[in-house]
Amino acid sequence: MPANRQFVIDHLPTSRLTPDVFKASESAIPSPGEGEVLVRTRYISLDAANRAWMWGATYRAAIKAGDVMAGGGMAEVVESRAPGLAAGDLVWGDTGWQDYAVLNGKHVTKLGKAPAGEPITHLMSVYGVAGLTAYFGLLECGQPKAGETVVVSAAAGSVGSIVGQIAKIKGCRTVGIAGGQAKCDLLTRDLGFDAAVDYKAESFSKAMRAAVPKGIDVYFDNVGGSVLEACLFNMNNNGRIACCGAVSQYDSPQAHGPRGVPGLIVTKRLTMRGFIVMDFEEQNAKALAELSGWVASGQLKVREDIIDGFDNLPDALIGLLAGDNVGKRMVKVS
Amino acid sequence: MPANRQFVIDHLPTSRLTPDVFKASESAIPSPGEGEVLVRTRYISLDAANRAWMWGATYRAAIKAGDVMAGGGMAEVVESRAPGLAAGDLVWGDTGWQDYAVLNGKHVTKLGKAPAGEPITHLMSVYGVAGLTAYFGLLECGQPKAGETVVVSAAAGSVGSIVGQIAKIKGCRTVGIAGGQAKCDLLTRDLGFDAAVDYKAESFSKAMRAAVPKGIDVYFDNVGGSVLEACLFNMNNNGRIACCGAVSQYDSPQAHGPRGVPGLIVTKRLTMRGFIVMDFEEQNAKALAELSGWVASGQLKVREDIIDGFDNLPDALIGLLAGDNVGKRMVKVS
């Protein structure tokens, strides 16, 4: 019988994430109890939020030393003792970083098929958490109107690359913030952004101002910190900030928030709204229909960054936090 | 002919406001041009925002050295060359700190009468900017529901004292944050707050937590800084923060914003919304009708802090920034 490869948390990191936080391990393949399923992991999703979970309880319980590293994954049901699920079903769930997991049948989502001609991995990117996060965050929290200026940070990432393209579809001037000239070039050349700003460049705040001659109406914030601060100072009256994440703070939390809070929020009548993709679940079907229409018409290009091999999981997450990826990063496990 | 007493800005303050910023002066009484009115100031409103105007442009132009100090006032029309305004009319406008002002007729608001049996000053407190700010900020931005917990800072101030009482009328548990035990006692004893927390006490963050056993659903922020930070950490999921002001930062601006922005905004799905009372102008009549009903029924108690004498203006503002006042502070000029 094959063993169950796992990465277990050796100790929690206190600052920047390093490989020694994860310990490769093996266990026997577990058996599902009543109401549970045994699944075999195919792809594991890498997300900045994985790192945030190590700091304490967020919208999920904190990760502790000794735990199998948590993470969302696409998996195939091997054995089911849960109603509505059968062997062979493709599901999404918190498999963690392991080959096999036993999950509560109520906590997994049965996946449909990818649209004809599209790879199955699209169910983890544009039709998964990333695509839905971009869709709901921009349209529900950001409320962009045609002709407005939309700015998104981590714009070459899984969520940001979709946010910018949806904003463009909605008739907005779209500006991406990303790290390094190569990513910035990709945004304007391949993904249709009107402008891109390199937050690692010395002239960032000047370049930021120049990229938004009419100010910012909607800022989709993936990063927090000094980039959020720079955008706050360029917001227009009645601007909206969709707060999606704070990746700049996950790996080395800052002692303070951005200047301008709450002063600029008052004088410019800004709205900052935080959200989690699950909050909009009842609208998923409508969102997926719209997203797949845009993919089919070529208006929305899907970027994926697929790394092959279970052993690469720690480096894949560390690299993600450093901004190595373009588009949705995942590790192919089996 | 009487002279026009004025306070002129001698130099802009760079840190804490001091009396030498203001220079007593006199001018001739000006004459109104076409479309203008000459008014005689009766009461001048003291507001924390007065100080913010000295830092730069906010929702109004910045105050500069040499300007007559800006400020809202209740005034009587002496001579009118503006349509719809006549000598003897009582108006509200940006009189500045002076006995007589010439104002554009379009920029003054004709005041009605105070309800029978109520002093005219109520038009500057509960039926003026303070009352309307409390009403719209709490009800529109805060969206409190019966049974929820509402917290307000600067709770003994002109706006805060009304916010807490409206929250109580709406069936909420109401907690005020104020400086010193005397103000806290007043909130619970005289104004019906369920609890009050002294932000100057050493045990502030512990006391804050204890005062909101079910967490905070709505926080009405008048102060920013460390008090906002303490509230952020006690917010419930889907909580709302009405951003009304940042008085803690007006007199000595901080280099950073509160911790938890944007991290807690994301994980708790918070909404922070800034507003200015003018944004809701078209709903003023409805708001005033409701406010006067509550005053008449005794559910809403009006607190005013009236200082007599033009010469006291500088000290009145400096004291306001230090939190000396209870309720709406104004200076009686004539």
The complex's ipTM works out to 0.92
Lowest mean pLDDT segment, chosen from A224-228, A245-249, B88-92, B276-280 = A245-249
Residue-wise pLDDT for B78-89, tens only, equals 999 999 999 999
Residue-wise pLDDT for B186-204, tens only, equals 999 999 999 999 999 999 9
Closest-CA distance, B316 to chain A, in angstroms, reads: 23
Domain identity same for B259 and B307: no
Using the 3D structure, point to which of B278, B293, B318 is the last residue of a domain: B278
pLDDT of residue B219: 98
Q: Does A137 contact B at CB distance below 8 Å?
A: no
Q: Count up the domains in chain A and report the number.
A: 2
Is B5 in contact with B24 (CB distance < 8 Å)?
A: yes
Residue A184 zone, left/alpha/beta (φ > 0; ψ -120 to 50; rest): alpha
Single-letter amino acid code for the residue at B197: V
Domain identity same for B137 and B271: yes
Distance, CA of B219 to CA of A179 (rounded, Å) = 36
Residue-wise pLDDT for A206-217, tens only, equals 999 999 999 999
Domain identity same for B214 and B256: yes
**Which structural domain, as residue segments, surrounds residue B215?**
129-278
Q: Do A257 and B256 touch (CB under 8 A)?
A: yes
Would you say residue A54 lies in a domain? yes
Distance, CA of A207 to CA of B319 (rounded, Å) = 42
Task: Inform me whether the pLDDT recorded for A57 exceeds 90.
Answer: no
* Alpha-carbon distances of A200 from A16, A171, A205, A224, A277, rounded to whole Å: 18, 28, 10, 15, 29
Give me the mean pLDDT over the A284-297 stretch. 97
Domain identity same for B48 and B113: yes
Residue-wise pLDDT for B170-188, tens only, equals 999 999 999 999 999 999 9
pLDDT of residue A1: 62
pLDDT of residue B60: 85
In chain A, where does DSSP find H-type helix?
Answer: 48-52, 129-136, 160-169, 181-190, 204-211, 225-232, 247-250, 263-267, 284-296, 313-321
Is B205 in contact with B177 (CB distance < 8 Å)?
A: no
Quick one: angle between helices B284-296 and B160-169, nearest 10? 80
The pLDDT > 90 percentage for chain A reads 92
Would you say residue A84 lies in a domain? yes
- CB contacts < 8 Å between A and B, how many? 123
The partner residues of A97 in beta bridges, in order of sequence, read none
Residue-wise pLDDT for B94-144, tens only, equals 999 999 999 999 999 999 899 999 999 999 999 999 999 999 999 999 999
Mean pLDDT score of chain A = 95
Residue-wise pLDDT for A149-193, tens only, equals 999 999 999 999 999 999 999 999 999 999 999 999 999 999 999
Distance, CA of B31 to CA of B5 (rounded, Å) = 15
Give me the mean pLDDT over the B247-273 stretch. 87
Would you say residue A324 lies in a domain? yes
Residue A120: give its domain's CATH number: 3.90.180.10
Would you say residue B161 lies in a domain? yes
The structure tokens listed for B150 are 């509402």
Domain identity same for A180 and A318: no
pLDDT of residue B7: 98
Domain identity same for A190 and A89: no
Distance, CA of B16 to CA of A118 (rounded, Å) = 63
Would you say residue A291 lies in a domain? no
DSSP string, B247-261: HHHHSS--SSB-TTT
Domain identity same for A70 and A196: no
In the stretch 225-254 of chain A, residues with CB closer than 8 A to chain B read 228-229, 241, 243-246, 249, 253-254
Lowest mean pLDDT segment, chosen from A164-178, A258-272, A286-300, B52-66 = B52-66
Q: Choose the closest CB to A262 out of B58, B224, B262.
A: B224
Q: Do B272 and A272 touch (CB under 8 A)?
A: yes
Q: Does A255 contact B at CB distance below 8 Å?
A: yes
Domain identity same for A64 and A166: no
